[in-house]
Amino acid sequence: MSRTQGRSASCFATPLIKTALTWGSTIARAKGVGSTTGATYALNYTEGGSVSTSFPPPYSFTVVSHQNFLSHGNVPDFMLHATLSITVDDTGNFFATVIDSRTECR
Tell me the pLDDT tens digit for each residue of 47-76. Answer: 777 777 777 888 888 888 888 889 988 889
The dihedral of CA 90, 64, 80, 40: what is its sign?
Answer: negative
User: Domain map of the chain by residue range?
Assistant: 14-105
Which residue, among 75, 21, 11, has the nearest Cα to 51 in the 3D structure? 21
Strands 78-88 and 59-72: antiparallel
Considering the entire predicted model, what is its pTM?
0.63
Q: Is 80 exceeded by the pLDDT of residue 98?
A: yes
Report the pLDDT value the prediction gives residue 73, as an integer from 0 to 100.
Answer: 82
Q: Which residue has the higher pLDDT, 19 or 78?
A: 78
6: left (phi over 0), alpha (psi -120 to 50) or beta: left
Specify the DSSP element, H or E, that contains 83: strand 78-88
